[in-house]
Amino acid sequence: MAPKKKKGKIVDWADDEHFSKDRSIFYIEHTTECPIFQVKADECLTFFQQRIPEREFQLVRNKNGKQVPRDGAFEVCISQNARTSEHELWSGITRGPPRRDKFPQYEDLVSDVHRVLRKFYPDKAVGIDDDEMDM
């Protein structure tokens, strides 16, 4: 029998103890029917942590387990921080088969992520030049 995984403590990133206006949140709803959905959620977070290293990102899966994910779901939303609204970046719910169509090309989401990050703090450069925004 495989050992049981310990569940980590669920953190409310919006409460006073954990809140940081410099921490953006990726909300990913993903099905648990296949492990690749969890891997792709981790890949998404890692991609943006490497692509925009001057910004802190946190991944919240399925509303910290409070949301039952829809079958075949892989949806990516971002918020500037834990106290701002979520903005949908990608929905794979109606995509596929094949399963690979359910997942975004992360590079295609970069301009949308920058748009959301600049919406609240336009005076702070967030790893992109104005020339790149026009593309």
All domains of the chain in start order, with CATH = 23-121 (3.40.30.10)
CB-based burial of residue 59 (10 Å sphere; 0-12 exposed, 13-18 middle, 19+ buried)? middle
pLDDT of residue 124: 54
pLDDT of residue 121: 60
pLDDT (tens digit, 9 = 90+) per residue, 88-131?
Answer: 999 999 998 898 999 999 999 999 999 998 876 665 545 555 44
pLDDT of residue 15: 86
3 pLDDT above the threshold of 50: no
Length of the chain as a residue count: 135
pLDDT of residue 18: 86
